Amino acid sequence: MDTKISDVGTAATQAAREIRRRIISGAYPSGMRLHQENIAAELGVSRSPVREAFRQLEAEGLVILTSQKGGKVAPIRAEEVVELFELRLLIEPHLLALAVPNFTDADVAAAEKIIAEMDGIDVAQWAEANWRLHMAFYEPARRPTTTRQLERIHSGIDRYLRMQITLTEGRDRAHTDHKAILSACRNHDAELAVALLRSHILAAARAFVPAG
């Protein structure tokens, strides 16, 4: 067997990735009609893989399919974002509490590396790195299934996030939060780490859900 440098996957997989990216980035705005033929043409494939991608994205909550009427980008409602933040507030502290006792020097170093990367990066990449950092915090918990659920929850929020604004205003706050959380992890202080994470997520929630 030869070492596949990058398994790009099937056309359907790639189509799903690309369409997901476009939805999350806002290139396909909320509510936009998803035209099978057009998208197939844009991606240089036929409608079959596009249709499969739609099904997948529907299950992920990013697309709405209606029988005989096709697909559209799932509209985001504010109440939905509230729910997604509530779920983050449940799941992320849970994961962090499980992770902290397992934190190794390597885990700390990995997180520090990401934090360093985040300095002076552009907005889009910052958001991506920010999420990678959160994932790095939870990795030592070894909860792949839970993490997967969380990923999906996050993608729902992320789309809304970018739609809204410049995250720049929260970046300083986030930076100090991240460093404090990491420090608590390094000291294996789960209590403190969780408390800090909760207020970190709450701050993010307040920034985007005024009436939260």
Interface positions with a second copy (CB under 8 A): 7, 9-10, 12-13, 16, 48, 51-53, 55-56, 58-61, 67-68, 80, 83-84, 86-87, 90-91, 94, 143-146, 148-149, 152-153, 156
166 touches DNA (CB under 7 A)? no
Does the footprint of DNA cover residue 64 (CB under 7 A)? Answer: no
Q: Cα dist. 143→2, 99, 188 in Å? A: 31, 9, 18
Judged by CB, which is closer to DNA: 41, or 203? 41
**How far, in Å, are 102, 132, 195 from residue 95 at the CA level?**
11, 15, 13
Measured from the CB of residue 93, what is the shortest distance to a second copy in angstroms? 9
* Cβ 6 to a second copy shortest distance, Å: 12
Burial call 175-209: b when 16+ CB within 10 Å, e when fewer: eebbebbbebbbeeebebbbebbeebbeebbebbb
| CB nearer to DNA: pick between 10 and 149 | 10
Q: Pick between residue 51 and residue 175 the one whose CB is nearest to a second copy.
A: 51
By C-beta, is 16 or 181 nearer to a second copy? 16
Nearer residue to DNA within complex by CB, 68 or 145: 68
CB 15 within 8 A of CB 45: yes
Least distance in angstroms from the C-beta of 69 to DNA = 5
Give least dist CB 149 to DNA, A.
25
Chain residues 66-105 in contact with DNA, contact rule CB under 7 A: 66-71
Which residue, among 192, 157, 187, has the nearest Cα to 78 in the 3D structure?
Answer: 157
Q: Does 195 bind DNA (CB under 7 A)?
A: no
Nearest approach, Cβ of residue 2 and a second copy (Å): 15
d(CA 120, CA 125): 10
Taking the least distance from each CB to a second copy, the nearer of 35 and 175 is 35
For the bound state, the minimum distance from the C-beta of residue 70 to DNA, rounded and expressed in Å, comes to 3
User: Where along the sequence are the contacts to DNA (CB under 7 A)?
Assistant: 10-12, 34-37, 40, 44-49, 51-52, 65-71
